[in-house]
Structure 1
Amino acid sequence: MKPVIMLTMQSCPYCKKAFQWMDELCEENDKYSAVEVKVIDENLQPEIARQYNYYYVPTYFVEGKKVHEGVPTKEIVRGVFDTALGE
């Protein structure tokens, strides 16, 4: 399994929705519960967030490669999880 980094902002409504979809996907399919997501809030951890090349949140990196940036859908989040699982 590949590591996932998720860059967020606490005030971002799209990030909140992405978290809801992540929870839903884990409830729907146990395999997604195995995906480890390290969440970095750019306001709380700016020194870490600056190490990544992105503009919009939420942004997902899998194994250091950006796989999504900006407004997500449930299918996009599923794709991030599938990429992390190597599917």
Structure 2
Amino acid sequence: MKDILLFYLPGCPHCKLALRLQEELLAEHPEWRDIPFQKVDESREPALADAYDYYYVPTYYVDGRKVHEGHAERADVEKVFRLAVED
């Protein structure tokens, strides 16, 4: 299983949607709840955010590799979780 890292901003409507979609997917796929997942509010952790190469939030990384940046649809968030569990 790979780690997921999400950079977000609390007031961002795209981030709120991504987080809501994530909750829906975790309810449908309880096996995904064991995936190591870290949410980083970029406004509270600017040094960590600056260490990564991205321009828009939400931005997902799987094992340090950027896999999605910007507005996320359900399929995008699902892809992130599927990448985290594939061998």
What amino acid is aligned across from residue 6 of structure 1 in structure 2? Answer: L
Q: Which residue of 2 aligns with 1:9?
A: 9
Identity of aligned residues (%): 38
TM-score, normalised by the number of residues in structure 2: 0.95
Q: Which residue of 2 aligns with 1:39?
A: 39
Q: Which residue of 2 aligns with 1:28?
A: 28
TM-score, normalised by the number of residues in structure 1: 0.95
Report how many aligned residue pairs link the two structures: 87
RMSD, matched Cα: 1.0
Hey, what's the Cα distance between the residues in 1 that align with 2:24 and 2:6?
17
Q: Give CA-to-partner distance per residue, 1:46-69, whole Å, 9 cap, x none.
A: 011000000000000001100000
1:51 aligns with 2:51: yes
Q: CA deviation at 1:10?
A: 1.1
Structure 1 unaligned blocks of 5 or more: none
